[in-house]
Structure 1
Amino acid sequence: MEGEEIDYSLRETRPNIGGDRVSGKKNLASSFDLVEQMKFLFVRIVRARDLPLETPNGIMNPYVEIKIGNYRATTKYFEKKPDSEWNQVFSFAVYRLQGTTMEINVINEDVIGKITISLHDVPTCLPPDSPLASQWYKLEDNNGVNVGKGELMLAIWYSTQADRVFSKAWHSDSATVSGKSLSNTHSKVYLSPKLWYLRVNVIQAQDLVLGHKGRNPEVYVKSVVGDVILRTRVSPDKNVNPKWNEDLMFVVAEPFVDPLIITVEDRLENNTIRHLGKCVIHLSDVDQRLLPLPADPKWYNLEDVFEDGVRKKDNFFSKLNMRVSLDGGYHVYDESVHFGSDYRPTAKALWTTMIGVLELGIINATGLQPMKVRDGRETTDAYCVAKYGPKWVKTRTVVDSFDPKWNEQYTWDVYDPYTMLTIGIFDDCHLHDSDVAGDGKDPSIGKVKIRLSTLEKNKIYTYSFPLLVLQPNGVKRTGEIQLAVRFTCTSYFNLFLIYTMNPLLPPMHHIYPLSIYQVDNLRKQAIHILCSSLSRTEPPLRSEVVEYMLNGGSTTYSLRKAKANFSRILATLKCLSDARKWFDEIRKWENPTATVAVIAIYCIIVLKPDLILPAVILYSVQAMIFQWWKRPMHPTHIEQSLPVTADELDEEFDTFPSSRQSDVLRMRYDRLRSIAGRVVGVIGDIATLAERFHSLLNWRDPRITPIFLVCCVVGSLMLYCVISLEVFLIFVGVYAMRPPLLGKDVLNAPQNFFSRLPTKADYTL
């Protein structure tokens, strides 16, 4: 409903985890202690023997069917195998079971035999116990009499989601999914490939065969790795020995499959390209640079030389001098700089010591919005993805539920506290053929980010986080996800070293820093590589999921983000404005007692300047002690409170280049000009202040500079010979805070003097 207020706040929960209810102060140490215990009935169908498979039509494809209440699960088929081996595990959530007996049928066109088991007689086998041993069961007919031939080996037990077979089992939550789509419902752990920065420093070429004499060649070097193409500028040397000394940087992933292809090209007058040579460098042969030392330059033969479109075959080769290295001292950005989950360099030899362990319990979600229509009704097939460092995790898919329960727990090694854990929820659109419609992508339901440095050590946080999605019609709340998070510190000494001695980024980022343009371009390459690599896994982690988790969307202008950043700046600088208001109250003697106290303290500080630093430190200690009672007790979360208009959202979701009509673009351009005009005005005011300070000394005004010079000489003599510095400071302070009865000038002499200083604003046309 339009105008409805959305609740963006966190809600603390008390889930039944660790065998008892927790309040956030209890330390738990057992496995799977951050999720609620879910009881499952596991059925392992191993194999069959001596099955009577003779049928009149000759069909022999035995399979096993399990029936519990309304649930039915079947194994895969085997053709012409009387001794079939399935070795499949099925899990049924106990809270959803409706029957008291389980019927297992062995079918080959018709039912060969069955096994009936009472669920009350099934044993419980909890981890860390070893798996329950399988045993042979004789097949019976409908009357409970042995069929005389055929046996089935199986194991049946009760356990929890901590069982080692849980991740590979067929789940009753996905009972409607079958075939190849069944693998998409399983929970998996993924690892990002190891990424390197490939630096190609093109220095110079030698003895190029240009072909056309009497013209100034426009030679440049083109580098190709996979589907990424980079090129240098055209060399300013118009001869056969051009020079560049330019860096081209790529992101490459292990194992190195695509080679580095270097091509030297000449751009002719009619914009045609003439290939002057090419060399292929395999990345496995490239040196890995770990220290901040330049790689050794090498000469490479340009073996493929073309002349008039015909390959030239002789023993003369042009050469290209380059430094090619795999820079392992950098951290390869795949996430935003401010939302990184890992800042380690590529080379493992340069990693710092691990400082702790991050544990995440993904408990459940509630109130999810319908994401698609199946069989005439709205539904959602939700799964959760969490990303920290190079490790990704994906929960199982809970089919057809707006309140899915996962209760899965995962752990990560932590190397830096200033890192971000990202959790996202998605709707699986690849479970049924009818679901894969439109673009066939898994839409996002929401995302949660948690900063580890805001968490207390060894404390369990159990909160329900709101799921927010920005859509063209505004911010939409799509549900809640309940999480349990714990950051356990294993070494306080290493944690102290991280905060004090180790920089956030590896030293290579400070010794040879990358430009903003390079970081942005390389991050796009890294995201493309991760999307391509993780989408080839089984089950695949799809490209749209990876891009959403990495914030790989557009970086175009957003008025909403501009307003949010401006509000952040105002909130940060609020302390300065509050101090100015407080000083104005002191100057105006609104509280005479406070003003007299401030004057007294000021005089004491002037007379005893050695007390300034201890006083500032003690005041900071006092402020920190008082703020301890107001410290935030919850993890970081999204707070969306700024009003956003429909046109601003439409502009943010517009394509690039824009697809809107000319009148809409004209209106947005005029609005941008208005905002930019105010920004330019503020920048001009700042420049005016800086130039006025500079004008005190540059004699731009032939009257003000001599006046300032005379004042400086007289003031220095008086401070040295007549008046001490303490007396002068006390006089200035008391004069600034003098009572209103003594008179208040609108502008005093220094302000009058400073306001008339010349600036370069006159130079602007």
Structure 2
Amino acid sequence: MCWTRKGFLLLLLKLMSIMSLMAASFSLAPADAVVKYVQPNFEDGMIVGRICYLFVRVVKARCLPDVDVDQKPDPYVEVNAGNLRSITNSVPEEQNPEWNSTFAFSRRQLDNAQITRIYVVVYDGFTDDSVGLISFDLSDIPERSRNDKPVVPKWHQLIDQSGRTAQGELMLSVWKGMQSDEAFCDSWKSDWLEASGVVRPHIVPKVYNLPRLWCLRVHIVEFKCIALACGSKIVESYVTVVVGCQRKTTKRMKKPLAHYVWDEELTFVAAEPFEDDLQISIQAHLGPGRDKVLGRIIIPVQTVQRRVGGLSSAELEHQWHDLQVPPNAAVANGAGDELTVSSCRVHLTTCLDSEYGAHYGSGDHTDEIANPPLVGLLEVGIIGARGLPPIKRKNGRLSSHPYCVARYGRKWVRTRTIINSRDPLFQEQYSWDVYDTATVLIVGVFDNAQVEESSSGGYKGVNIGKIRIHLSDLQPGRIYCHAYPLLVLQPSGVKKMGELCLSVRFTSKSLTNMVRMYGSPNLPKMHHRDPLQILIEGLQFHAVQIVAFRLSQMDPPLRKEAVEYMCDVQSHLWSMRKSKVNFYRIMSALSIVITFWQRFLYVCSWENPAITLLVHAVFLLALMFHRFILPSTLLFTFFSIVWNYRHRPTHPSHVDIKISLTDTVHPDELDEEFDTFPTSRSSGLTMMRYDRLRCLASRIQTVMGDVASCGERITALTTWRDPTATAVFGLFTLAAAVIMCFTPWKILVAMVGLYIMRHPKLQRKMPSFVWNFYRRLSHKADSVL
């Protein structure tokens, strides 16, 4: 390729035009996929709206009557508010039972049903007869605000159906409150009437604390054994290390069995509490499908030394471990000779690094750094959603049971499930400590299929959508209340799955810590002192699998698909659309340089003499008053910042359909992105896609090769790869050094600047000597096979 002064710029522009023509103009984007402002209606100190509830807390009873002489009652309590009913557990054969159950009745449901009185009835579970009851008028129940003290339970005398005093007393408390009440999380709610008793434990809100993750590093140094053998004794061996479901092997070495030196490190992810063992085995490869274990050792992970941040790799403890030799450790080599291993040892180093595990597991590693400075408090109000799509069940019914999951750092929260609602109202507020604003809050909306399909055991929820909010986009102290579109990319294009209404507030705790945070490393010290020499995607995948398994074992469980969706497990997979997105992002970042270069070429062309002469005048003034160049540049930058303040963003950044190219992506590219791995498409379609990928990759390969050649030409000036060119450049640098010692630099800059911007009549049509000299410098493109 023949390079000119515009060559590289034209090459990039040509590549952009080619990639633009490859994408057909299919409009697949929703029309209203924008962030909308929501008018907040919050009380002081809260960022969610108020939902009123009537709380009934049943504590215990005493002196209940017997059923007969030989039978004690099996009491339980029913709270009756019209068609809203809830009961406690039955306590067998107890006259003084304890329940400690709390019930929350929605005031909206009570008002809609025009209920004015509630009844608390004690029943005998053996005969289902009423023992006694207590009634309350709703207008007489006290109102409890968020700052009031908890209501103290009191003893109430039971009465019968006719209003006469019955035997026994019931301790309870009744009050009117809201969802911020401390009793709300542990209470039974009237919104769950449509859910069965088996499902109710799976629809309650929950706060999950992720397990602390560690990076388990196993350094296999060498292996020695004593063997009685005949023949050549050449055996191909390797080391296999297994931790839970993670399995890795070292490289294979083919040499005499007595001594192997690998000096290789294998890295795994472990989580507290350490339940798995570190299994190390030395294996001999005898042929296809024929591997024999020479010796093995099992080390509990909890006994491995821990490196919190003070020790270096050289200071770790090196140990020799005796391997357990299996009874059938006789190995036959390819020549038919038999090798019998009598004893063997392995030399290795193991350690647990907390900083690596925190970074790759939680996504917010700052809380694992020693004594992190607290910079602020993040408060998130999950208000509700609207326009959610109905989900088709196995029985053909259309319904929606949404809930939300918010993820930030090691703390995950799950809202309660709203039964059968496409416009759920959550109004739940959560908070997190913030140690670094360069982090992301992720809130996802899911459908709880377990509400209807729990009995079959094969339920699978639906990922409705998620949003990401960068904390660095938030202005401290301001409440952001917006409705974010839930956008999901499908094989048919991007689809809007509804809107999620969120209110977010970031409160700065210390301005000093905030400024100090920007100057501190964004990764723990271990990442800089002893970086990992492996692919990070592998560690992140195993960390997500561990987190998904632990969360699925909690009550209520968080399904694996939801955890993987929140952690973007498949974000690293290749797609044509993402490749073009990243290319356009690079071109957008370089647009300022390209624009400046285009305008400078316009000035040098003298097409508009007035503008060219004005640039000459500014250039000469800058040389005369060179001391003001840097202050003027800084002042111009400052006024640009002030001017851009009026155009500052009004809401946190969200998914941009235009940047993602989902509005112009070709349907075949979407089908390729959602194809399985390995592919499930026909051979002809796969071949066409492969040729298209090769076409795109060839252009990118050409650009990268030209960029590499530019750097190699500059390097060749001093490496004597071309002796003549290096000698000429050396004499030039010597002469330039002497000239610059005796000539003011302003005169040199003026001469160079005026020479570059000279009139076209004074310019030669042929390339300059400097350009010809540069083009003739050697590079390594011809050395590539």
Tell me whether the two structures share a fold, i.e. TM-score over 0.5: yes
Q: 1:22 — aligned with what?
A: none
Q: 1:506 — aligned with what?
A: 524
CA drift at 1:237 = 4.7
**Contact kept? 1:331, 1:505, Cα under 8 Å:** no
**Contact kept? 2:281, 2:293, Cα under 8 Å:** yes
Q: 1:153 — aligned with what?
A: 171
Secondary structure of the structure 1 residue equivalent to 2:750: helix
Match of 2:85 among 50, 72, 91: 72
Pair 647,515 (structure 1): closer, same or farther in 2 beyond 3 Å: farther
CA drift at 1:58 = 8.9
Secondary structure of the structure 1 residue equivalent to 2:419: coil
Match of 1:283 among 273, 276, 301: 301
Match of 1:673 among 678, 685, 694: 694
How far apart, CA to CA, are the structure 1 residues paired with 2:282 and 2:736? 69
How far apart, CA to CA, are the structure 1 residues paired with 2:690 and 2:775? 35
CA drift at 1:414 = 1.2
Could you give the per-residue CA deviations for residues 659-707 of structure 1, whole angstroms, max 9, x where no partner exists? Answer: 1111111111111111111112212322343344456667878987787
How far apart, CA to CA, are the structure 2 residues paired with 1:257 and 1:717? 72
Q: 1:27 — aligned with what?
A: none
How far apart, CA to CA, are the structure 1 residues paired with 2:274 and 2:303? 10
1:421 has 2:434 as partner: no
How far apart, CA to CA, are the structure 2 residues paired with 1:276 and 1:763? 46
Q: 2:411 — aligned with what?
A: 391
CA drift at 1:86 = 2.5
Q: After the TM superposition, which residues 240-259 of structure 1 pair with which residues of structure 2 at under 5 Å, given as runs?
A: 240-259=258-277
Q: After the TM superposition, which residues 7-156 of structure 1 pair with which residues of structure 2 at under 5 Å, given as runs?
A: 7-19=32-44, 30=45, 33-51=46-64, 54=67, 61-97=74-110, 98=113, 99-107=115-123, 108=125, 109-112=127-130, 113-142=132-161, 144-146=162-164, 148-156=166-174
CA drift at 1:396 = 1.0
Pair 709,257 (structure 1): closer, same or farther in 2 beyond 3 Å: closer
Q: 2:488 — aligned with what?
A: 469
Q: After the TM superposition, which residues 362-761 of structure 1 pair with which residues of structure 2 at under 5 Å, given as runs?
A: 362-373=382-393, 377-433=397-453, 439-500=458-519, 502-515=520-533, 517=535, 519-553=536-570, 555-589=572-606, 592-607=609-624, 609-641=626-658, 642=661, 643-693=664-714, 725-739=745-759, 745=765, 747-755=767-775, 759-761=779-781
CA drift at 1:256 = 1.6
**Contact kept? 2:72, 2:94, Cα under 8 Å:** no
CA drift at 1:103 = 3.2
Pair 413,554 (structure 1): closer, same or farther in 2 beyond 3 Å: closer
**Contact kept? 1:369, 1:402, Cα under 8 Å:** yes
Secondary structure of the structure 2 residue equivalent to 1:566: helix
Report the more deviating stretch, 554-563 or 355-364: 554-563
How far apart, CA to CA, are the structure 2 residues paired with 1:561 and 1:88? 52
**Contact kept? 1:197, 1:249, Cα under 8 Å:** yes
Q: 2:335 — aligned with what?
A: none
**Contact kept? 2:235, 2:254, Cα under 8 Å:** no
**Contact kept? 1:138, 1:146, Cα under 8 Å:** no
How far apart, CA to CA, are the structure 1 residues paired with 2:767 and 2:501? 59
Q: 2:16 — aligned with what?
A: none
How far apart, CA to CA, are the structure 2 residues paired with 1:315 and 1:218? 14
Structure 2 runs not aligned, ≥5 long: 1-25, 332-339
CA drift at 1:750 = 3.8
CA drift at 1:539 = 1.0
Q: Which amino acid aligns with 2:90?
A: Y
CA drift at 1:582 = 2.2
Q: Which amino acid aligns with 1:487?
A: F
**Contact kept? 2:378, 2:431, Cα under 8 Å:** yes
Q: 2:381 — aligned with what?
A: 361
Match of 1:332 among 339, 358, 363: 358
How far apart, CA to CA, are the structure 2 residues paired with 1:307 and 1:331? 39
Could you give the per-residue CA deviations for residues 60-107 of structure 1, whole angstroms, max 9, x where no partner exists? Answer: 654333332432223233444454432211111212222222233444
Q: Which amino acid aligns with 1:567?
A: Y
Pair 568,135 (structure 1): closer, same or farther in 2 beyond 3 Å: same
How far apart, CA to CA, are the structure 2 residues paired with 1:714 and 1:85? 99
**Contact kept? 1:105, 1:111, Cα under 8 Å:** no
How far apart, CA to CA, are the structure 1 residues paired with 2:456 and 2:608? 71
How far apart, CA to CA, are the structure 1 residues paired with 2:418 and 2:371? 38
Q: Which amino acid aligns with 1:342?
A: H
How far apart, CA to CA, are the structure 2 residues paired with 1:210 and 1:446? 64
**Contact kept? 1:210, 1:276, Cα under 8 Å:** no
**Contact kept? 2:330, 2:341, Cα under 8 Å:** no
Secondary structure of the structure 2 residue equivalent to 1:120: helix
**Contact kept? 1:237, 1:243, Cα under 8 Å:** no
Pair 131,693 (structure 1): closer, same or farther in 2 beyond 3 Å: closer
Q: 1:26 — aligned with what?
A: none
**Contact kept? 2:294, 2:341, Cα under 8 Å:** no
Secondary structure of the structure 1 residue equivalent to 2:672: helix
Q: 1:214 — aligned with what?
A: 232
Could you give the per-residue CA deviations for residues 268-303 of structure 1, whole angstroms, max 9, x where no partner exists? Answer: 246422222222222232221222412121111113
Q: 1:319 — aligned with what?
A: 345
How far apart, CA to CA, are the structure 2 residues paired with 1:623 and 1:83? 76
Which segments of structure 1 move beyond 6 Å, counting only runs of 4 or more? 55-60, 697-721
**Contact kept? 1:454, 1:636, Cα under 8 Å:** yes
Q: 2:15 — aligned with what?
A: none
How far apart, CA to CA, are the structure 2 residues paired with 1:746 and 1:427? 69
**Contact kept? 2:28, 2:493, Cα under 8 Å:** no
Q: Which amino acid aligns with 2:451?
A: L
Pair 362,281 (structure 1): closer, same or farther in 2 beyond 3 Å: same
How far apart, CA to CA, are the structure 1 residues paired with 2:480 and 2:364? 19
Q: 2:334 — aligned with what?
A: none
RMSD: 3.3
Pair 244,487 (structure 1): closer, same or farther in 2 beyond 3 Å: same
How far apart, CA to CA, are the structure 2 residues paired with 1:646 and 1:106? 64
How far apart, CA to CA, are the structure 2 residues paired with 1:764 and 1:689? 15
How many residue pairs get aligned? The number is 739
Q: Which amino acid aligns with 1:146?
A: R
Pair 59,659 (structure 1): closer, same or farther in 2 beyond 3 Å: farther
Q: 2:186 — aligned with what?
A: 168
How far apart, CA to CA, are the structure 2 residues paired with 1:320 and 1:449? 48
Q: 1:196 — aligned with what?
A: 214
Q: Which amino acid aligns with 1:71?
A: L
How far apart, CA to CA, are the structure 1 residues paired with 2:218 and 2:594? 50
CA drift at 1:386 = 0.8
How far apart, CA to CA, are the structure 2 residues paired with 1:305 and 1:556? 42
Q: Which amino acid aligns with 1:622?
A: F
**Contact kept? 1:138, 1:150, Cα under 8 Å:** yes
Pair 708,687 (structure 1): closer, same or farther in 2 beyond 3 Å: same
Pair 134,662 (structure 1): closer, same or farther in 2 beyond 3 Å: same
TM-score normalised by length of structure 1: 0.88
